[in-house]
Chains A and B, each alone.
Chain A
């Protein structure tokens, strides 16, 4: 059975979306991403280091983000990551889709069964 390839943008995972959203406001190093994510989601999303870098690796290869210099932290120098133009475009298109879906869900109370 041959699967029809979907447009790659819609394959963006939720976690990728969240990381892009965090980087939208400026470049961050690994631990900064973890902290900002937790703040943004009230602690609902807590990533392990391996998770963070797996996401960074995947998105770096997809050219959605890139390394951007180094930051001085209390533990030494850490690599910073910044969102690319492609990343920004994808982020805003996804945000629009999600926003309309979210509005729909909230309008129906989120419980209605679609039958």
Chain B
């Protein structure tokens, strides 16, 4: 590090004296005078830059030994001189400098932080060969037009109002791969989400994907160690292998070479690691999904719990990514995809003339659905931070205008001594650029802290985003600072240099003193308008959060600890799985402090739910209507753990079991929607078709429980009893504590380990954390917009205070005359406070603007209208009262003037 800091010195210095200097540090520490590395680094940096400065002065004719007396100063020298002089000026007025630099730091820092996230989520391309040639296929259609398939992966509503997905069957991939097409090659891959990976007997969870053998070749990647997948791995008879990511190799294997060639167990299947993918490549899956392990498609079944998917044309789960020939267009790629898609619908599903269609999208950023969801919140934040930067810039401009008027004498002297107007303007500009530069430096530091605060906004807490300060981010910051410094410095600089020399030199107050503040007033109006806009946004998000958290949820999980498990990844299935859950619950009930223990496939507020088509006895669906319901597989203890009671009938009891009548507990919404006005008890609901069909008797009704987002309509739900199911999946165990739920964690972990240490526990967390996570986006928006609007308000008040303080200083004599002629103190206060009219104008304009601007926020708010009058007028009240305080301070100061002194002061 010390050698690095030595780079601050000129090269010539390093060559002749560098080693001697390092030796002197040794002498210092040998005599007990050594200092911390930071102190040494600072010593080097400071003196190194100073030595460079000395050199520059020598070169351009200023220093000792230079024969340049009287030579015209070179451009560089004079620019350096400008900055040096600017630095001295800034040091001489610390309050001005601190306010200006502070405003800019906040403004630039917030923008850099947002840009860092923007860069990582939206702008960055995959680190692969020629990413612009990549194409991702999507398919879409009205939800009624979708064929009867099982689909895994994202499906979003597109601009045409159709359901659009990016998953296809393996058969479709095969056909496209083998067809004549404008693609050089196509590959397929799918997210495996969390896998149970055992290395040397220790099981841990990690993310994974399956990919076709040509995946890495198509992307043009070379192995970091060993080899990557190739076409030979597509043969089901080939040895089962896996490729691990560079990051996983580092964290799980410590970057050891022996990792390649070792055997790991992925969901129980032994695979040999054959290589490490290049650093920086985290796959092409959705945003934040970075697969640690990549398994060949041919071995899909062995890592996916023996679900053989390759032969199924009705299971759509694979992403298709192609590399088009450089001469081929996106339209040609789309046409080729559409043709094969139609063939597949007909061959696999016997669907002809389907209105479903295929679209081809640029694949340079991989799968983009998750990205598309964060664009809107991110843009909202971006608009807010740009507004904060604007306010900071206006502050800077205001301060510069005000200072320009106090420095009018200095400027007049320089102009009268023959300096050109451009020369003085340049000097003033270099000062504002200097301010912006310092602001950019500090802002970058602030951004490093700030970007972590942004992640919850994007609801990507667990995601690995790789937020780094790369050249794009630094270029953005540099650009923001330069524009700020130049644009907001030039008008004040031009105004300051347009002075009438004679009165300025005599240090007389400028005639028409108040008119000089005309520009400042315009800037103040802009500032106030922006501030009130941000206050409105903050008010909306805070109100939205309040509405969200105040909503009835249908459950009480404050004392519940939840543990998610999926014993299937450790080999449990069928009756063994049921028995495992039964035994786990029995053991957990014996853990000290546990009052109730239950489980559910989906706990309240978790945001995840299974949906199914349901038949309700006594309800005739209209032609083409799909009767949907949430399905939750629970045990009897689930209701007790979350304090859910039966409003009608009963809950599950000890009498319900595998042998007895199949029972169901439904929610209020299901009854209201499908069985209004009739007694639901004893009626039947049914799922599935053919031999998988089941019928259940409704034995009870509970209130609506919010399983999804707390802001969403809960919708119909059916609760099934786990012991009456033949196929079970992962479950979340819920333990109700007599005290704090956190205190149960260690006991529960021990009990689960004792039962079977091979079953990894996923999240072990108090249920209130689940609820927190559910409203995390709303909460962070409220905090972020609240914090930023407070900063904006403060900046505006500083601006207002500054203007008034300067105007009072300028009008001392006028105020003195008024007081001498009998004006009372209250009159003087009123005189200054009249500036509040400017604030009121700005506030009114801002409210008007906000009224139209915030309409776009509707979809991000819950429980209140974007133009909510309480929020609008609340923002106005806050702004006016805070501004009144800021204005009152200089007003009071003015009223304290001693008239005699004020009259003599000039």
Contact surface of A with B, Cβ cutoff 8 Å: 1-5, 7-9, 11-12, 30-31, 34, 48-54, 56-58, 60-64, 73-76, 78-79
Contacting pair A51 B47 (CB below 8 A):
yes
Contacting pair B30 A48 (CB below 8 A):
no
> Chain B: which residue is nearest A54 at the CB level?
B47
Chain B neighbourhood of A79, CB < 8 A: 20, 23
**Which segment, of B66-74, B179-187, B692-700, faces chain A?**
B66-74
Q: A2-B73, A4-B70, A61-B58 are in contact. Are A31 and B64 (CB under 8 A)?
A: no
Chain A nearest CB: distance from B501 CB in Å? 15
Chain A neighbourhood of B68, CB < 8 A: 5
Task: Give Cα A88–Cα B170 distance, bound, in whole angstroms.
Answer: 89
Contacting pair A57 B64 (CB below 8 A):
no
Contacting pair A12 B64 (CB below 8 A):
yes
B419 interface residue (CB < 8 Å to A): yes
> Chain B: which residue is nearest A64 at the CB level?
B64
Chain A nearest CB: distance from B493 CB in Å? 17
Task: Give Cα A76–Cα B20 distance, bound, in whole angstroms.
Answer: 11
Contacting pair B30 A11 (CB below 8 A):
no
A–B Cβ pairs within 8 angstroms, 20 of them? A1-B414, A5-B66, A11-B64, A30-B21, A49-B24, A49-B40, A50-B21, A54-B54, A57-B9, A57-B13, A57-B17, A58-B51, A58-B63, A58-B64, A61-B58, A61-B65, A75-B27, A75-B30, A78-B27, A79-B20
Contacting pair B30 A62 (CB below 8 A):
no
CB contacts under 8 Å to A, within B816-840, are: none
Q: Determine which of B50, B72, B73 lies in contact with A54 in the assembled complex, contact meaning CB atoms within 8 Å.
A: B50
Most chain B beta-carbon neighbours within 10 Å: one of A3, A7, A49, A50: A50
Task: Give Cα A115–Cα B417 distance, bound, in whole angstroms.
Answer: 25
Chain B nearest CB: distance from A31 CB in Å? 4
Q: A30-B23, A52-B24, A54-B50 are in contact. Are A8 and B44 (CB under 8 A)?
A: no
Q: A53-B17, A57-B17 are in contact. Are A30 and B65 (CB under 8 A)?
A: no
Contacting pair B418 A30 (CB below 8 A):
no
Contacting pair A8 B63 (CB below 8 A):
yes
Task: Give Cα A12–Cα B65 distance, bound, in whole angstroms.
Answer: 11
Q: Determine which of A7, A49, A64 lies in contact with B25 in the assembled complex, contact meaning CB atoms within 8 Å.
A: A49
Contacting pair A30 B64 (CB below 8 A):
no
Q: Determine which of A3, A53, A60 lies in contact with B47 in the assembled complex, contact meaning CB atoms within 8 Å.
A: A53
Q: A73-B27, A75-B30 are in contact. Are A1 and B423 (CB under 8 A)?
A: yes
Contacting pair B17 A50 (CB below 8 A):
no
- Per-residue 0/1 for B8-48: is the Cβ within 8 Å of any A Cβ (1 yes, 0 no)? 01000100110011011111101100000000100110111
Contacting pair A62 B64 (CB below 8 A):
yes
Contacting pair B27 A5 (CB below 8 A):
no
Chain B neighbourhood of A3, CB < 8 A: 73
Chain A neighbourhood of B63, CB < 8 A: 8, 11, 58, 62
Q: Give the interface residue-count category, chain B.
A: 35 or more
B811 interface residue (CB < 8 Å to A): no
B62 interface residue (CB < 8 Å to A): yes
Contacting pair B25 A5 (CB below 8 A):
no
Chain A nearest CB: distance from B344 CB in Å? 72
CB contacts under 8 Å to A, within B682-708, are: none
Chain A nearest CB: distance from B74 CB in Å? 12
Contacting pair A58 B17 (CB below 8 A):
no
Chain B neighbourhood of A75, CB < 8 A: 23, 26-27, 30
Main secondary structure of the interface of B (DSSP, over half): helix
B61 interface residue (CB < 8 Å to A): yes
Task: Give Cα A53–Cα B48 distance, bound, in whole angstroms.
Answer: 9
Chain A neighbourhood of B24, CB < 8 A: 30-31, 34, 49, 52-53
Q: Determine which of B62, B69, B71, B419 lies in contact with A1 in the assembled complex, contact meaning CB atoms within 8 Å.
A: B419
Most chain B beta-carbon neighbours within 10 Å: one of A31, A49, A58: A49
Contacting pair B64 A5 (CB below 8 A):
no
Contacting pair B51 A54 (CB below 8 A):
yes
Chain B neighbourhood of A74, CB < 8 A: 30
Chain A nearest CB: distance from B788 CB in Å? 40
Chain B neighbourhood of A31, CB < 8 A: 24, 27-28, 31
> Chain B: which residue is nearest A3 at the CB level?
B73
Chain B nearest CB: distance from A14 CB in Å? 14
Chain B neighbourhood of A12, CB < 8 A: 64
In order of increasing CB-CB distance, the 5 nearest A-B pairs are: A50-B47, A5-B69, A31-B27, A50-B43, A30-B24
Chain A neighbourhood of B48, CB < 8 A: 50, 54
Task: Give Cα A68–Cα B823 distance, bound, in whole angstroms.
Answer: 79
Task: Give Cα A8–Cα B68 distance, bound, in whole angstroms.
Answer: 10
Chain B neighbourhood of A63, CB < 8 A: 65
Contacting pair A56 B17 (CB below 8 A):
yes
Task: Give Cα A78–Cα B54 distance, bound, in whole angstroms.
Answer: 25
Contacting pair A48 B17 (CB below 8 A):
no
Chain A neighbourhood of B47, CB < 8 A: 48, 50-51, 53-54
Contacting pair A78 B30 (CB below 8 A):
no
Chain B nearest CB: distance from A7 CB in Å? 8
Task: Give Cα A48–Cα B24 distance, bound, in whole angstroms.
Answer: 9
Most chain A beta-carbon neighbours within 10 Å: one of B43, B46, B64, B417: B64
Chain A nearest CB: distance from B859 CB in Å? 58
Chain A nearest CB: distance from B407 CB in Å? 16
Contacting pair A62 B65 (CB below 8 A):
yes
Chain A nearest CB: distance from B895 CB in Å? 36
Task: Give Cα A54–Cα B44 distance, bound, in whole angstroms.
Answer: 9
Most chain B beta-carbon neighbours within 10 Å: one of A11, A34, A56, A57: A57
Task: Give Cα A54–Cα B423 distance, bound, in whole angstroms.
Answer: 32
Contacting pair A58 B23 (CB below 8 A):
no
Chain A neighbourhood of B43, CB < 8 A: 48-51
Chain A neighbourhood of B9, CB < 8 A: 57
Task: Give Cα A7–Cα B63 distance, bound, in whole angstroms.
Answer: 10
Chain B nearest CB: distance from A37 CB in Å? 13
Kindly list 9 other residue pairs between chains A and B, CB separation below 8 angstroms, not including A11-B64, A62-B65: A5-B66, A7-B69, A30-B21, A50-B43, A52-B21, A57-B9, A60-B17, A64-B64, A79-B20
Contacting pair A8 B65 (CB below 8 A):
yes
> Chain B: which residue is nearest A70 at the CB level?
B20
Chain A nearest CB: distance from B373 CB in Å? 52
Contacting pair A53 B46 (CB below 8 A):
no
CB contacts under 8 Å to A, within B189-216, are: none
Task: Give Cα A61–Cα B71 distance, bound, in whole angstroms.
Answer: 21
Task: Give Cα A74–Cα B73 distance, bound, in whole angstroms.
Answer: 48
Chain B neighbourhood of A2, CB < 8 A: 72-73
Contacting pair B46 A50 (CB below 8 A):
yes
Contacting pair A78 B51 (CB below 8 A):
no
CB contacts under 8 Å to A, within B246-299, are: none
Contacting pair A8 B66 (CB below 8 A):
yes
Chain B nearest CB: distance from A17 CB in Å? 12
Q: A8-B66, A11-B64 are in contact. Are A58 and B54 (CB under 8 A)?
A: yes
Chain B neighbourhood of A57, CB < 8 A: 9, 13, 16-17, 51, 54
> Chain B: which residue is nearest A10 at the CB level?
B64
Contacting pair B70 A5 (CB below 8 A):
yes
Chain B nearest CB: distance from A34 CB in Å? 8
Task: Give Cα A63–Cα B68 distance, bound, in whole angstroms.
Answer: 17
Chain A nearest CB: distance from B409 CB in Å? 16
Chain A neighbourhood of B23, CB < 8 A: 30, 75-76, 78-79
Q: A8-B64, A58-B51 are in contact. Are A53 and B21 (CB under 8 A)?
A: yes
> Chain B: which residue is nearest A78 at the CB level?
B23
CB contacts under 8 Å to A, within B321-344, are: none
> Chain B: which residue is nearest A75 at the CB level?
B30
> Chain A: which residue is nearest B58 at the CB level?
A61
> Chain B: which residue is nearest A16 at the CB level?
B64
Task: Give Cα A9–Cα B64 distance, bound, in whole angstroms.
Answer: 7
Chain A nearest CB: distance from B764 CB in Å? 53
Task: Give Cα A61–Cα B16 distance, bound, in whole angstroms.
Answer: 11
Task: Give Cα A110–Cα B172 distance, bound, in whole angstroms.
Answer: 97
Chain A neighbourhood of B414, CB < 8 A: 1
Task: Give Cα A56–Cα B51 distance, bound, in whole angstroms.
Answer: 10
Chain A neighbourhood of B44, CB < 8 A: 50
Task: Give Cα A49–Cα B28 distance, bound, in whole angstroms.
Answer: 8
Task: Give Cα A5–Cα B70 distance, bound, in whole angstroms.
Answer: 6
> Chain B: which residue is nearest A7 at the CB level?
B69
